[in-house]
Amino acid sequence: MYNQYLEVAKEAARAAGAIQLAGLRRQLRIETKSSPIDLVTEVDRMCEAEIARLLNQNFPSHQLLAEEGTVGGDAPDFRWIVDPLDGTTNYTHRYPFFSVSIALEHKGRLVVGVVYDAVHDEMFEAVAGGGAFLNGQPIKVSDTPTLSQSLVCTGFPGDQAGNQQVLTAWEKISLRCHGVRRDGSAALDLCYVACGRLDGFWERLNPWDMAAGWVLVSEAGGRISNFQEDPFDLYKREIVATNASIGPELVAVLKETLQV
Ligand code: IPD
Ligand code: CA
Ligand code: CA
């Protein structure tokens, strides 16, 4: 039912990925947004413009919620949620871990998720009820049974209090598992949970960082909640995504560490 939307999302993600790869070969203009470490480049804006152009060409009435502020139509039922370049800090340093994230919300429910890693030519895709795929092959979350055998990942919100809470959780969790990573593209981090490369992930994020990844993890058999183990809400800035088995143990540590 949602396949026509999936195909356009993949086309837009590939187009943005090509812009990202081309941008790596030239000098970048880097600006800051809300703080000295909140970066944006002309490539973020070029990717968003191209994605918006393709979505608008195919679905002119659909709404658009995109990180760099491009807006779409006003159809009440369809909203695309787009992060044109997730991992801008990595990108500006030419550290090869960044992605494009495109999701579709239909009547308030996330139904399509696409995350594209152009460097590794990895296309993660999922449609509600249809399973999750990496380059056309089905994927599922890991079967790691306990936190002590797991590899997990997180990110830092950028403000001092929030960063300190993540460091406290990092210390506690890293002493109880194989390792904690900070990879720098939340959308891709969630896809790594979906395909079993990571066993869990947590962070405070914006909707465009999480929307597509949520579809991937859900369709790959993972478990997603907020830090208090309440149901996930895309518009509240908390996500814990796991392979389900390590979920209760990871959430127990986060509950005592991460206060709102
Ligand atoms: C960022 C990345 C990063 C996460 C930050 C996000 P951006 O997105 O997803 O991994 O830790 O919280 O803001 O700014 O590169 O699109
Ligand atoms: Ca992002
Ligand atoms: Ca971004």
Same domain for 115 and 14, yes or no, is yes
| 38 Cα nearest atom in ligand 1 | 14
Same domain for 203 and 121, yes or no, is no
pLDDT on residue 259: 67
CATH number for the domain that contains residue 95: 3.30.540.10
d(CA 69, CA 13): 18
Strands 109-117 and 99-106: antiparallel
> pTM (2 decimals)?
0.97
Query: Percentage of the chain surpassing pLDDT 90?
Result: 88
Same domain for 118 and 188, yes or no, is no
Residue ending a domain, choose from 136, 159, 189: 136
Same domain for 110 and 202, yes or no, is no
Nearest CA residue ID for atom 13, ligand 1: 205
Q: How confident is the chain (260 residues) per 10-residue block, as mean pLDDT? A: 96 98 93 88 97 98 97 96 97 97 98 98 98 98 98 91 90 96 98 98 97 98 94 95 96 83
Residue 131, in any domain of the structure:
yes
pLDDT in tens, 215-236: 999 999 999 999 988 999 999 9
Q: Rounded to the nearest whole angstrom, what is the distance from the C-alpha of residue 115 to the centroid of ligand 1?
A: 14
Domain housing 209: 147-257
178 is written with which tokens? 């194989």
Q: Which residues line ligand 1 (CB under 6 A)?
A: 67, 83, 86-88, 155, 184-186, 203, 205, 209
Q: Rounded to the nearest whole angstrom, what is the distance from the C-alpha of residue 26 to the centroid of ligand 2?
A: 22
76 is written with which tokens? 């009440």
